[in-house]
Amino acid sequence: MELALSFEPTGAQHEQEMAFSNRDASYDGVFYFAVKTTGIFCRPSCPSRPNRENVEFLRTVKECIEAGYRPCKRCRPLETNGILPSWVSGLIDHIESDPSARIKASDLKTLEITPERARRWFQKHYGMSFSAWCRGHRLACAFTQIREGASLDESTFSTGFESHSGFRDAFSRIFGHPPGRTSDASRRLVTTVWDSPIGPLLAACNDDGICMLNYVDRRELEVNLENLRRHFDCAVVPGQHPFLAQLRSELADYFTGKLSSFTVPIAPRGTAFQEKVWAELQRIDYGTTLSYDELASRIGQPTAKRAVARANGMNQICILIPCHRVIAKDGRLSGYGGGVWRKRLLLDLEHRSRAPDGL
């Protein structure tokens, strides 16, 4: 593993080294350090200071677990709960305080943020550059303003666009229609990506409820966003929404064992059969499991085990529609879209009613 590290780009390696040396909490969730002599993995901000020669850097919780490391009981790296690094939350608050602002490299430097760091973080967590995120955020604000009755002039200039033609072109590229036709709330999905104790989660909603909550690796983020656009046939823009805020709060409580039932509205989209299966999944009690055979019987189609399994696998709202609670008839933890290791951690969390502090 040490040899592999030496082949990383010099900038990335130096960044990890500095974050490790400085115990920089803003890198928590960005990478982890694992200690070979103790077999544990930690956040970069962990107070423990092992000798550097005993440390290796890993990108994800999955990599740490598959390499045989267990989570540190001191810094509890599994309990990230979607909390943004302070510099990111401060930057987003700064942008949202003035939707018309165009953030330049000089503005970032004034906030003591390097443009490269912002680009890398937003590319990793949102699948787009920081400038593209800002543009999408401004257009999402404009969409909301127009839907609430604002004039074209108000929406154009209050979101930082300098001309009607430029605004119309940018709006039409994202939403597929000119701003004058914005009336249907379902014509856009608002998305965000959070870190969680079991890896990054992509969340999306419209005004009906949560439409997607799924695990996403960095290399798959852009594919997931494109699939979301095709499936819902509408624009997908980054931003904030009351349902996303509620979901984030409820997930934080879920991962610390304080919540066993979600109240945030959901808006799944599937066939009638799939939605029937997903509705039954939501009736499986917290902390319990069910076999595919039993699930098929519950929906009144005992011979449809394979169809039930396929519907289970097509679920796009993980955790809230708890397909992780369905196991093989013999008790094995059979396939799971997020990986069996995640399924095991979720079931362990629910069985013990608290966030896992070991494996």
In sign, the C-alpha dihedral spanning 315, 318, 320, 322 is positive
Query: DSSP of 203-265, one letter per residue?
Result: EEEETTEEEEEEE--GGGHHHHHHHHHHHHTSEEEE---HHHHHHHHHHHHHHTT--SS--S-
Among 46, 72, 141, 323, the one annotated catalytic: 323
Rounded Cα–Cα distance for residues 172 and 228 (Å) = 18
| Annotated catalytic residue 323 | yes
Among 42, 64, 141, 211, the one annotated catalytic: 42
Sequence-ordered alpha helix ranges (H) in the chain: 2-5, 10-22, 61-66, 86-97, 105-110, 115-126, 130-147, 152-158, 164-175, 221-232, 242-255, 272-281, 292-298, 305-313, 340-352
Rounded Cα–Cα distance for residues 220 and 348 (Å) = 27
Rounded Cα–Cα distance for residues 304 and 300 (Å) = 9
| Annotated catalytic residue 42 | yes
Q: How far is CA 83 from the centre of its chain?
A: 11
User: Catalytic positions, please?
Assistant: 42, 323
